[in-house]
Amino acid sequence: MVPATEHGTASDNSSTELSPNVPPSATAAVPGISQVGQAATEAADEPTAPSPVHAPSPPESIIEADDLVSLSNSQVSVTSSVFEFVHEHGHRYHRKPEALLPNDEFEQDRLDLQHHIFRMLLDGGLTHTVLLDDKPLEIIDIGCGTGIWAIEMGDDFPNASIRGIDESPIQPPWVPPNVTFEIDDVTKTWLVKGSSIDFVHIRTMAGCIPSWPDLLRSALSALKPGGHIEVADIMWHFECQDGSMKPDCASIQWADKFHELATASFHVDFAPSPKMAGWLEEVGFVDINVHTRLVPVGPWPKDKKLKEIGRYFLAQMLQGGMENYSMALFTKAGWTDIGVHAMLGDVRQEITDPRVHSFTRAWFITGRKAEEGGDHSLP
């Protein structure tokens, strides 16, 4: 259970007792998710054996800009090197040496599956923060990835202007007229006019931000007085309520080693959510609240909604979540490709065992920039 915090209370289903049940059959396809992603959700319904060890990856290579779809309705505010990528471990990465997550089509499919999970967690919504759809809001999406959140916000909030910002040019060329994308490094100075934004959205940026307080200061500066911020993520930290997962099991060992290497070797934090409220308060935000949701690993709960969330979360893990998060991190820390795949095979075998009832948590941390001359909320 998640206790209430000084910054707010835990959400209702964070204390829900998860009851196991048999895995369901595959459900209908989800709009916006590719056939690859849908196949992964169907595969998640059945226990699977660990995948075979992959062959060693080819030598590192660079892909040039003309292999990419041209960007439409977008701006590029950094050098052309953002269009050059490194190929290793069977994936495509941003050329920055500190890049630990791929940006290829497999990762993009996984991100879109993950987006669907967040929508289920929010009962079909796009934000935990309540926004008025009849207001001409200025919204920015930090680390927009494939752009799916910004695009759907543009459809749902036709009077708003939504700007998605990311280092990788992987967004689609056709978007709603009120949506634009910019290629930029959000860890540097923001090219955003001060006090001009109504809502800052930051999701699944764990491990990508060297200094969260600095990023949050940039967000505070960009927001109008009374403007809101929401930071959301899903933790790679596994729990169990019924003893079906052993303390030394493969998934816990993998997650512990993952966080250990990220912190010790690369000085990045892949588990910032529990500290986010403190950082928001530190830089000057007010009305800070912390909300959590349970995310089952697999379709084992009896509860219909949790069962479906678990099915999709397991699917995105099997589709590449574990591998995409692990390969660059572990190999840069000295592991071999074969060693990483062997470890991940043990994790796959465990998380697809319907007798293991593990779960993690999604976090939504919200805050507000104080009004000038007062500290009251917007009507």
**Structural contact between residues 215 and 187, judged by C-beta atoms closer than 8 angstroms:** yes
- 68-77, 253-262, 285-294: least confident range: 68-77
Share of the chain above pLDDT 70, in %: 73
pLDDT of residue 44: 53
pLDDT of residue 83: 60
Residue with tokens 């219909």: 304
- Angle, nearest 10°, between helix axes 250-266 and 337-351? 140
The answer to whether position 68 is within a domain reads yes
The answer to whether position 80 is within a domain reads yes
Each residue's pLDDT tens digit, 161-217 = 999 999 888 899 899 999 999 999 999 999 899 999 999 999 999 988 999 999 999
**Structural contact between residues 118 and 232, judged by C-beta atoms closer than 8 angstroms:** yes
The answer to whether position 294 is within a domain reads yes
The answer to whether position 373 is within a domain reads no
The answer to whether position 4 is within a domain reads no
Tell me the C-alpha distance between 226 and 198, whole Å: 8
pLDDT of residue 81: 56
Tell me the C-alpha distance between 227 and 371, whole Å: 8
> Per-residue pLDDT for 141 more than 60?
yes
- Label residue 286 by pLDDT band (50, 70, 90): very high
Residue with tokens 């987006």: 115
- Label residue 48 by pLDDT band (50, 70, 90): very low
Q: What is the CATH number of the domain that holds 295?
A: 3.40.50.150
pTM (whole model) above 0.85:
no
Question: Hey, what's the torsion of the CAs at 187, 193, 197, 200, to 10 degrees?
Answer: 0
DSSP type of residue 360: E
> Per-residue pLDDT for 29 more than 60?
no
> Per-residue pLDDT for 369 more than 80?
yes
Q: What is the mean pLDDT of residues 133-149?
A: 94
Tell me the C-alpha distance between 339 and 346, whole Å: 11
pLDDT of residue 69: 35
The answer to whether position 1 is within a domain reads no
The answer to whether position 176 is within a domain reads yes
> Per-residue pLDDT for 64 more than 90?
no
- 29-33, 88-92, 137-141, 281-285: least confident range: 29-33
Residue 87 CB contacts under 8 Å (≥ 6 apart), including other chains: 58, 60, 61, 62, 63, 93
Q: Is 346 helix (H, G, I), strand (E, B) or coil?
A: helix
Beta bridge partners of 139: 162, 199
In the structure encoding, which two tokens stand for residue 178, read together?
């009120």
The separation between CA 134 and the C-alpha centre of its own chain, rounded to angstroms, equals 28
Q: Total structural domains in the chain?
A: 1
The answer to whether position 3 is within a domain reads no
Can you give the residue range of the structural domain that contains 73?
A: 12-368
Q: What is the mean pLDDT of residues 82-88?
A: 67
